[in-house]
Amino acid sequence: MPAIDLPIPPPGTMGPPVNYPRLRRECPLAEVRLPMGVTAWYATRYEDVRGLVADPRLIRPTIDDWPPRPDRAAAPGEPGLTTMMELNGPRHAALRRALAEPFSVRSVRSRLPAVREAADRLLDAFIAGGRPGDLVRGFLEHFPLLVMCDLVGIPYEDRHFFLPKADAALGALLTLEEGREAGAQLREYITSLLDRKRREPAADVLSRLVEARERGALDEESVVNFGLSMLVAGYRTSTMFLADAVLTLLTEPGQYARLRDHRELMPGAVEELLRFVPVMNGVVVLQAAEDFELHGRSVHAGDAVLPVLAAANRDERVFVAAERLDLCRADNPHLTFGRGAHNCIGAHLARAQMTVCLETLFDRLPDLHLPEGRHPTWDDASPSKSPLTLPVSW
């Protein structure tokens, strides 16, 4: 099969792209053309995606280094925008050890009252704004960010400074040169925040990492890398999953009321929503460190490989009635949080956020619904789809 355009969800929907079943069946490793003018290998079968995300022959390139172009070469001595996701080897292992306890099940459970308080506080303001309201801009955008800031130790009131810089550093708004400048400003912000934590430690993750750095368990750059990870990626994916999950429950007949009235279904329902909502439509970019073959196709060192988690999560070989939302699904080995050395360290927190988000909506807005004649809006050019706005009433 010749190279195809990157599969995109249908306009005005969260997707997934209609190409998935055919690709899984006929071309499980397809060459795709990406919008930035390069090609990549696009893997859609569950067993392939599961293997690729943990394959040591694949590394995650930095935002500054990929796609490779002469104008992307970092200046000598320029640190670039490296996050925790791009770390490998002993430095990555040491950082994950330092983060294991604050992101553990036990630690996340201990924070549930504070997470619920944050949800209630934000919903108070949203409800006071009157109906109909935009649930994304009024609640879902803010909730994961507020939870992340509280846990990590990033001042929530600084969001007006770092959010635009994070978008720019990811290339969402500005040119490469301006994006690099934004990345440098984010590094400067995190560095100054770490200095403040040294002087005034608190009960947060950054203070814990600063203490680990002081006793030699971590190096300074790893702590900065974690801080950058939180600024550019520590909340956005959660926002997208929450928005898609709420919209799914409101559009699938009877599902919002069913879960509202049967809270015992919540643990399994959260896992099913994480499987079903197709946020991860090709945003995990890996790069081959050596040549290998898969399905008779030659992947060369330097090639980009996109293991498509959303496609794997809809693989009919693994999930019965994979295209159907089943809140009672028992066997659900979804790959939403990845696996291997770089599996999502915030998985327990993400599950807790979705649980608290839904329970708070059920308690506070039991009759939540989509108002007639009002529709969500979407960024139809993005492979990662969640509503930009979500009009609701109650």
Q: Measured in whole angstroms, how far is the alpha carbon of residue 228 from the centre of its chain?
A: 14
Q: What is the CATH number of the domain that holds 367?
A: 1.10.630.10
Alpha-carbon span 327 to 113, nearest angstrom: 25
130, burial (CB in 10 Å: exposed 0-12, middle 13-18, buried 19+): exposed
Alpha-carbon span 226 to 389, nearest angstrom: 30
The predicted structure's pLDDT at residue 232:
85
Give residue 231's domain range. Answer: 4-392
The predicted structure's pLDDT at residue 174:
45
pTM of the model: 0.93
The candidate with the shortest Cα–Cα distance to 222, out of 199, 206, 238, is: 206
Q: Which of 50-59, 111-120, 276-285 has the lowest mean pLDDT?
A: 276-285
Contacts of residues 146-151 at CB distance under 8 Å and 24 or more positions apart, as own/partner, are 146/118, 146/122, 147/115, 147/118, 147/235, 147/349, 147/353, 148/230, 148/234, 148/235, 148/238, 150/114, 150/118, 150/204, 151/102, 151/111, 151/204, 151/205, 151/349
Sign of CA dihedral 77, 83, 84, 88: negative
Highest mean pLDDT among 75-79, 245-249, 381-385: 245-249
Residue 242 Cα distances to 40, 62, 277, angstroms: 29, 27, 9
Q: Are 143 and 242 in contact (CB under 8 A)?
A: yes
pLDDT tens digits, 274-290: 999 999 887 789 999 99
pLDDT at 180 over 80: no
Strand 391-392 versus strand 133-134 pairing type: antiparallel
Mean pLDDT of 129-140: 97
SS3 content of the chain, % helix, strand, coil (to 5): 50, 10, 40
The predicted structure's pLDDT at residue 182:
82
Percent of the chain with pLDDT over 90: 81
The predicted structure's pLDDT at residue 177:
66
**Angle, helices 220-233/89-100, rounded to nearest 10 degrees:** 70
Amino acid identity of residue 222, one-letter, is S
Percent of the chain with pLDDT over 70: 93
Mean pLDDT of 126-142: 97
What domain count does the chain have? 1
Q: Are 283 and 16 in contact (CB under 8 A)?
A: no
**Structure-token pair, residue 185:** 């400003």
pLDDT tier for residue 172 given thresholds of 50, 70 and 90: very low
Alpha-carbon span 5 to 327, nearest angstrom: 33
Alpha-carbon span 329 to 332, nearest angstrom: 7
Note the residue count of the chain: 394
Torsion of CA 212, 215, 220, 221, to 10 degrees: -60
249, burial (CB in 10 Å: exposed 0-12, middle 13-18, buried 19+): buried
pLDDT tier for residue 168 given thresholds of 50, 70 and 90: confident
Alpha-carbon span 24 to 28, nearest angstrom: 5
pLDDT tens digits, 229-285: 999 888 989 999 999 999 999 999 999 999 999 999 999 999 999 999 999 887 789
pLDDT tier for residue 16 given thresholds of 50, 70 and 90: very high
The predicted structure's pLDDT at residue 167:
79
The predicted structure's pLDDT at residue 171:
59
Q: What are phi and psi of 159, to 5 degrees?
A: -60, -30
Tally of CB atoms within 10 A around 244? 23
Alpha-carbon span 144 to 353, nearest angstrom: 7
pLDDT at 77 over 80: no
**Structure-token pair, residue 342:** 């770089």
Helical (H) or strand (E) element with 99: helix 89-100
The predicted structure's pLDDT at residue 233:
82
Round the CA-based radius of gyration of the chain to a whole number and report it.
21
Average of per-residue pLDDT values in the chain:
92
The candidate with the shortest Cα–Cα distance to 141, out of 116, 165, 159, is: 159
Amino acid identity of residue 18, one-letter, is V
336, burial (CB in 10 Å: exposed 0-12, middle 13-18, buried 19+): buried
Q: Which of 67-81, 85-99, 172-186, 264-278 has the lowest mean pLDDT?
A: 67-81
Alpha-carbon span 314 to 310, nearest angstrom: 7
- Secondary structure of 193-209 in HEC code, one letter for each residue: HHHHHHHCCCCCHHHHH
pLDDT: which is higher, 380 or 78 = 380
The predicted structure's pLDDT at residue 173:
43
